[in-house]
Amino acid sequence: MLLLARTTPKEQVAKRTDGMSVFIVDMRDALRHGMTIKPIRTMMNHSTTEVFFDNVRVPAENLIGEEDKGFRYILAGMNAERILIAAECVGDAKWFIEKASAYAGERTVFGRPIGQNQGVQFPIARAYAQMRAAELMVMQAAELFESGRDCGEQANMAKMLAAEASWAAAEACVQTHGGFAFAEEYDVERKFRETRLYQVAPISTNLILSYLSEHVLGMPRSY
């Protein structure tokens, strides 16, 4: 595993983010020498774990990059992760929208397909518009990242917009399916649970808004 650990105490560095280093840790070895992995059961299919380190020794040659500069390396990967998750959310939204549109066309109530009612159509159409807008931001963020330019603003916005779009699409899909949305065989309830994660992880929406407020709009840091 890649481990970010403090190597110089906070009191001895100018910035809190300095003084951390990245190491590669041999997990099989660490498990025999103080590392414990405890699975956390979650509401979706995700191998989430707590990892405890109790005097685990890591050889100095396992250091990656420069000592005390590790936070920067991790940060560099975060934009990529946000773009990746945003793209996943766009995919989720497309799945929900296709599923909802198809069901709205085939389910007949009171002698006509439910999709003939604007009350059923509009949430799906709105989710589609949200998804398309988010997708454009994902594309822009990916393009900037690919060309090695700064993409912090776009990666964060892409992640937030795509997570919200996938959640809107999930909502519309559940509502369109009525009671069957809760039946496991339709997969809607499973994806509904999964897609909710992305407003919390890998970064919560509030923290993205804080980033935009501070780093893009120049307002004071709020935390």
- Site for ligand FAD, rule CB under 6 A: 42, 46, 48, 197, 200-204, 206-207, 210, 222-223
Helix axes 118-146, 70-106, angle to 10 degrees: 150
Give φ, ψ of 54 to 5 degrees: -125, 95
How many Cα atoms occupy the beta-carbon half-sphere of 150 within 13 Å?
4
Q: Among residues 132 and 196, whose Cβ is nearest to ligand FAD?
A: 196
Q: Among residues 116 and 206, whose Cβ is nearest to ligand FAD?
A: 206
Q: How far is the CB of 199 from ligand FAD (least distance, A)?
A: 8
Q: Among residues 102 and 200, whose Cβ is nearest to ligand FAD?
A: 200
Q: How far is the CB of 82 from ligand FAD (least distance, A)?
A: 11
Q: How far is the CB of 207 from ligand FAD (least distance, A)?
A: 6
Q: How far is the CB of 42 from ligand FAD (least distance, A)?
A: 5
Locus of tokens 């481990």: 3
**Token duo for residue 105:** 């066309």
